């Protein structure tokens, strides 16, 4: 017999006291717990599996030895598998949507590099949106170091904090349903996977790139539960299982959502697996993670630039939910090219469109490419 019971969600409130407590921590460093302390061969491979990236530079030692690096390196967004500050500190029971990233890389991530991460909360900006009424954009800065003390990368993170009860009552996404594909649509998706190109060992020279050139898309989807599980495995997991998870939930009860049948308190991360849980906060179908989609943006760029390229910057913003059953086509266009010192740079405008034709994640990336002038 079907039940009409709904999961019990903790509906936290945005209060002036909670906002003041968060502002008091601006600039105070927070040393993140790491999911992966080293960029081991296994950790890199599992991360790549979790985002659907089969580039041999990241997993085949024999292949990687013949590249400019001389060994396996990790894709730039592997840093999400080291630690991922998502702006969930403060405001207990108020939902956090990690919606924007602004990355800059200074060093490659070599195999077996040991990596640490420090995060600094820096701002809260009040917003008024259709989803949650009064809401706040939470901003922080994250710095990643290697074992040599070098800054590998920095990220300015953006997270929207929304009251769950407001989101549910306003019902901005109440009409969202799981997409039903035609056989022709599924055939086109299969073909797009066949057409994916990893530039790899064939150098993409700066001189051969022109403004307006298309960047061949990568396809992600139709999104399902296995994709979510594989991504969690790839970044090193969440709050742990069994005793570890129960201990975590006791420390953070407002992070929980109670199952109506079993009465068990489960992590709020279940909104990324189960539609009844996501529906309880106003999104009728389970949806992806912001950092997951940002990794897909990185994937399209590293495919395009080849082994000799280096991704210097990546910024992107999730502007529409990507729910179970949706397919994202992540591509782009060359927007600009220039030289700076001894570097040959290209800017790519990233455009992500789902199977409905809706844009879901705009962004841009800056890549350093090899030049024929310096090629030996």
Which residue shows structure tokens 């975590």?
A: 248
DSSP 189: H
How large is the greatest C-alpha to C-alpha distance in the chain, in angstroms? Answer: 72
Is the four-CA dihedral 106, 109, 114, 118 of positive or negative sign?
positive
Residue appearing with tokens 């420390």: 251
Distances (CA, A) of 376 to 69, 188, 342: 16, 41, 15
Query: H or E stretch including 224?
Result: none
Peptide bond into 86 cis (omega under 30): no
CB-based contacts of 171, cutoff 8 Å, min separation 6: 282
- Domains annotated for the chain, with CATH where assigned, are 1-170 (3.10.129.10)
- pLDDT at position 238: 75
Question: CA dist 371 to 92, 150, 306, Å?
Answer: 51, 26, 13
Res 1: pLDDT: 38
Q: Residue 355 gets which letter from DSSP?
A: T
Determine the Cα–Cα distance for residues 318 and 303; give it in Å rounded to an integer: 21
pLDDT of residue 2: 44
Asked if 332 contacts 215 with a C-beta cutoff of 8 angstroms, the reply is yes
What does the alpha-carbon distance between residue 74 and residue 81 come to, in Å, rounded to a whole number? Answer: 11
Exposed/middle/buried for 190, CB within 10 Å: 0-12, 13-18, 19+? Answer: exposed
Give residue 160's pLDDT. Answer: 94
Contact (CB, 8 A) for 159 and 86: yes
The full DSSP string for 22-87 is: HHTTTT--EEPPPS-SB--HHHHHHHHHHHT---GGGT-HHHHHTSTTSS-EE-GGGGGGT----S
| DSSP-assigned letters across all residues of 248-314 | HHHH-GGGEEE-TTT--EEEGGGGGT-HHHHHTTT-SS-B--HHHHHHHHHHHHHHHH-TT-EEEEE
Q: Which parts of the chain have pLDDT scores under 50?
A: 1-3
pLDDT tens digits for 106-139? 999 999 999 999 999 999 999 988 787 889 999 9
DSSP 307-343: TT-EEEEEEEE--S--BTT--EEEEEEEEEEEEETTE
Measured between alpha carbons, how far is 336 from 274 in angstroms, rounded to an integer? Answer: 42
Q: What is the pLDDT of residue 217?
A: 97
Cross-strand pairs, 214: 333
Instruction: Give the pLDDT of residue 127.
Output: 92
């Amino acid at each position: 017999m079907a039940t009409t019971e709904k999961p019990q969600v903790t509906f936290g409130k945005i209060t002036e006291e909670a906002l003041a407590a968060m502002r008091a921590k601006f600039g105070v460093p927070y040393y993140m717990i790491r999911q992966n302390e080293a960029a081991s061969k296994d950790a890199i491979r599992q991360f790549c599996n979790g985002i659907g990236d089969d580039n041999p530079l990241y997993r085949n030692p024999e292949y990687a030895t013949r590249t400019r690096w001389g060994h396996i390196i990790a894709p730039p967004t592997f840093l999400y598998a080291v630690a991922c500050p998502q702006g969930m500190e403060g405001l207990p029971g108020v939902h956090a949507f990690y919606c924007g990233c602004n990355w800059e890389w200074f060093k490659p991530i070599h195999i077996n590099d040991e990596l640490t991460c420090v995060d600094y909360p820096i701002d809260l900006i009040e917003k008024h949106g259709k989803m949650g009424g009064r809401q706040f954009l939470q901003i922080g800065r994250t710095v990643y170091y290697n074992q040599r003390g070098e800054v590998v990368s920095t990220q300015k993170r953006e997270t929207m904090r929304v009251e769950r009860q407001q989101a549910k009552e306003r019902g901005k996404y109440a009409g969202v349903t799981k997409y039903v594909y035609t056989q022709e649509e599924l055939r086109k998706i299969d073909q797009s996977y066949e057409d994916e190109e990893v530039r790899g060992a064939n150098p993409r020279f700066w001189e051969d790139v022109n403004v307006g050139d298309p960047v061949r898309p990568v396809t992600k989807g139709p999104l399902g539960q296995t994709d979510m599980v594989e991504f969690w495995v790839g970044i090193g997991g969440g709050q742990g299982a069994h005793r570890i998870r129960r201990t975590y939930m006791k420390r953070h009860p407002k992070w929980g959502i109670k199952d109506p049948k079993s009465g068990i308190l489960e992590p709020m991360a279940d909104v990324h697996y189960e539609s009844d849980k996501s529906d309880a906060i106003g999104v009728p179908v389970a949806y992806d993670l912001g950092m997951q989609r940002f990794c897909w943006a990185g994937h399209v760029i590293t495919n395009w630039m080849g082994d000799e390229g280096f991704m210097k910057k990546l910024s992107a913003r999730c502007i529409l939910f990507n729910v179970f059953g949706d397919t994202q086509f992540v591509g782009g266009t060359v927007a600009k090219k220039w030289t700076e010192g001894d570097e040959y740079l290209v800017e790519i405008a990233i455009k992500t469109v789902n199977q409905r034709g809706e844009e879901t994640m705009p962004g841009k990336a800056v890549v350093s490419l090899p030049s024929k002038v310096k090629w030996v």
